[in-house]
Structure 1
Amino acid sequence: MSSDCGSFLTYVERRFRLAGSALVDDGNHPYFVPTDTLEEEGGPWPEGFLSMSHYDYLGLMHHPETVGAAKAAYDTFGTGAGGSRLVGGERSTHRAFEKDLAEFLGVGGVLSIISGYLTNISLIQHMVGGRDLVIADELAHNSIIMGCKAAKCTFLTYPHNDLDALAALLDEQRAHFGRVLIATDGLFSMDGDITDLPRLLEIKEKHDAWLLLDEAHSYGVLGATGRGLCEHFGIDPNRIELAVGTLSKTFGSSGGFVAANERVIEWLRFTLPGFVFSVGLAPATVACAQAALGILRREPERVARLRDNSQTFLNMAHSAGLDTGEAIGEAVVPVLFDTPDECVYVAGCLMQQGIYAPPVVHVGVPKDAPRIRFFISAAHEKADLERVINAVALALADFRASQQTAISAE
């Protein structure tokens, strides 16, 4: 082995160790589980396999219409887009879907992109330059944070959902920069809480700033008909410069999109690197998402059922004495633990009972805030939710009792 290769592997090992490799090195961990196999086999569990880790919020991933639309698209258009839409041409379904989605969201236009993560990374770098400032919520999605760090601008954060701190920061900093972009999530995927959009818009407009709002987890979830945070608060979505969404959650597909003024979208169509230099969405991906959008339009009761399930799960968790942090009971409900060991133990007990909900102990959350995120779906039954909460409460009580016994024996 060359010295260069050895040096590289040493570097990788150190970085992996810092990321928590001790948790996974023995191979006995709950990550990358083939959930389809577990679901098909059913395992030794009388109640069957139950996933609480998939954000199939409206239960559309296996819906006959979404699956059928994807199959038909394969037969009609083939397996891929074949190239960048700018230089390789696009399928008629690309523009038709974007038009329908823009109409549903009440905005001028939508541009779909191959990856939701890439959408934020590329968009933020494209919007700001060396004389500009980006301020993000400290718990914004990693794609926002990394996009801000990669941009050639000044990057600052404000404490999570502390909009007074954001306002004070802008009072102090605004005059020193040409353009200012505020970036945050609508529904936070690790905490299950939301941004106070009315207050945020007041601050944005007072300081002549722009807003990038990531609605990846709020489209199809918030609002009476699933139109997101703006509908939740009764706000015109056109007051937001850039809204970012994903097709991998509510829409049961994959990819990301930007929703904005029609002229903004047309500009991005010709200039946004993450779109221009990436292949277009596969026809089956578009077809699946468009079918899901049609179901959402036709059956808003799915949103109501998701909300009812989420509130039920949150209330059950509270009744069981579990810590759900600041979650409001909208699709994402975390249960927080005192230590990583506690979190990993409970997740392991759930898996032994056929409930898949991996622990989040290092990546994406502070190391002192381990949790298990539970993604609620309109397809879940009340019995599913009771099964999960009972299993968590019993496992947690068992762990704490064993710890107390160990302490007493010392």
Structure 2
Amino acid sequence: MTKINSLADFANKRFRHAGKAYLEKGDPFFWEIDSMRQAAEARGTHFVSFANYDYLGLSAHPAVKAAATEAVDKQGVGALASRLVGGQRSIHRPFEDALASFVGTEAVLALVSGYLTNMTVIAHIMGSRDGLFLDELSHNSIVSGAKSASSDKIHFRHNDLDHLDYLLTQKRADYKNVLIVAESLYSMDGDITDLARLVEIKERHGAWLLVDEAHSIGVLGADGRGLCEYAGIDPNRVDLIIGTLSKSFASCGGFVAGKTEVIDWLRYTLPGFVYSVGLSPVIIAAAKCALELMQKEPWRIARLHRNAELFIELAHEAGLNTGPSIGGGGVVPILFSDSHETLAASRHLMANGYYVPPIIQIGVPKDQPRLRFFLSAQHTEAEIHGVIDLLAKRESAHTAPTHSLNAAT
């Protein structure tokens, strides 16, 4: 066995395995988007990002910025301590109550990180006599939470609820408690789970259900209330809804929603909440304002839906492969045949003022590299036509993306 003498050597070796060689022709990641935008404006050219999940275009809204500024003036920057042992700010509970009302659950608990929310909730509620049933394409935060749990882990094929039903039929009796975990809108493929069927399965098998709505609240449903609204399901039939403040709410942090008894228990026992600092008043104020704007300006949600539908329509007309992504969602991938072609397409777009970093190696199977587009209510039809036109012209002159998935579906 080869001995590695230092952490730096170890890190360099792991980095090579992760695909360091892909960066030799230029690193497409970690670009300073504010500087890029300012430089483009100074040149009189455009800079359009499809890499940021500001779905409703609220991150720079004057009212959101004003709310954050007012919070700084009145309450300062930090939350200063864990809310349990250090006391909470007057803005915390009103925001949680307003968010619960919007989502349609009895209560909400807000945490400092969306990633942390999945990790700490899953690990906290599942014991050694329990079974955890996970979609095989679950987000890394779910996977990490599952690894931290002492329960058994069983994976079902992606969005294959017949497979989940079969596994539960075979294994439910082996466990005291069972938790099914699925996402609403999957962040790499832009597809959704069949929530009505999922709820029916969990109720029939006497299981609990956790749905991660990070990419669907503010996006799915006529009012942007998420997958429950989209599917016509009472949110209170879902045991736990996980969400984030970093997307439609233009802020930062995460939350867990559910029955009052469940949230009260988590408020006093959940490690990721009890042992973490509370959300900054600035963050809460910005998110609260975004929540209010979302309801006052429903045209933003409608425009997002139109933009996403237009993007997929144009992509299909151009023969581009959008995988299983749904019409009207905020996430649409364009799949390519290999990682180098994906990188080249990303660089081509960047050279023409469109920022779309490639998704390769990490987060998706190695044989399914892609450019992932986040659509926003702020994007114009001209910007959507422009980026698709660039890809279509490039693809007509190069090897076309793989069509293992029907672009018309």
Q: TM-score, normalised by structure 1?
A: 0.95
Aligned residue in 2 for 1:195: 193
Residue 350 of structure 1 and its aligned partner are, at CA, apart by: 0.4
Letter in 2 for 1:42: A
Question: Of 159, 170, 173, which aligns to 2:171?
Answer: 173
Residue 46 of structure 1 and its aligned partner are, at CA, apart by: 5.7
- Mapped to 1, the partners of 2:357 and 2:57 lie a distance apart of 20
- Mapped to 2, the partners of 1:188 and 1:261 lie a distance apart of 25
SS of residue paired to 2:241: strand
CA separation of 1:109 and 1:284: change in aligned 2, threshold 3 A: same
SS of residue paired to 1:42: helix
Aligned residue in 2 for 1:352: 351
- Mapped to 2, the partners of 1:66 and 1:188 lie a distance apart of 27
- Does the 8 Å CA contact 1:351/1:357 hold for their aligned counterparts? yes
Letter in 2 for 1:101: L
Aligned residue in 1 for 2:183: 185
SS of residue paired to 1:152: coil
- Mapped to 2, the partners of 1:174 and 1:186 lie a distance apart of 23
Q: TM-score, normalised by structure 2?
A: 0.95
Aligned residue in 2 for 1:142: 140
- Does the 8 Å CA contact 2:22/2:340 hold for their aligned counterparts? no
Residue 382 of structure 1 and its aligned partner are, at CA, apart by: 0.3
Letter in 2 for 1:64: P
- Does the 8 Å CA contact 2:112/2:254 hold for their aligned counterparts? yes
Deviations 1:56-115 (A, max 9, x none): 000000001101100110111101100100001111101110010111111110000000
- Mapped to 2, the partners of 1:14 and 1:215 lie a distance apart of 36
- Mapped to 1, the partners of 2:3 and 2:369 lie a distance apart of 37
SS of residue paired to 2:12: helix
- Mapped to 2, the partners of 1:398 and 1:67 lie a distance apart of 45
Residue 5 of structure 1 and its aligned partner are, at CA, apart by: 7.9
Aligned residue in 1 for 2:289: 291
- Does the 8 Å CA contact 1:337/1:343 hold for their aligned counterparts? yes
Structure 1 segments of 4 or more deviating over 4 A? 43-47
Residue 8 of structure 1 and its aligned partner are, at CA, apart by: 2.7
* RMSD of equivalent CA atoms: 1.5
- Does the 8 Å CA contact 2:217/2:243 hold for their aligned counterparts? yes
Aligned residue in 2 for 1:220: 218
Residue 397 of structure 1 and its aligned partner are, at CA, apart by: 2.7
Alignment identity in percent? Answer: 51
Aligned residue in 2 for 1:6: 5
Q: Does 1:342 align with 2:345?
A: no
Equivalent positions of 1:24-103 (< 5 A) are 24=23, 26=24, 28-42=26-40, 47-103=45-101
- Mapped to 2, the partners of 1:55 and 1:183 lie a distance apart of 23
- Does the 8 Å CA contact 2:67/2:289 hold for their aligned counterparts? yes
Letter in 1 for 2:347: G
Deviations 1:344-374 (A, max 9, x none): 1100100101100000011100000000100
Deviations 1:295-323 (A, max 9, x none): 01111121111001100001010000000
Aligned residue in 2 for 1:115: 113
- Mapped to 1, the partners of 2:198 and 2:348 lie a distance apart of 41
- Does the 8 Å CA contact 1:309/1:378 hold for their aligned counterparts? yes
- Mapped to 2, the partners of 1:170 and 1:19 lie a distance apart of 35
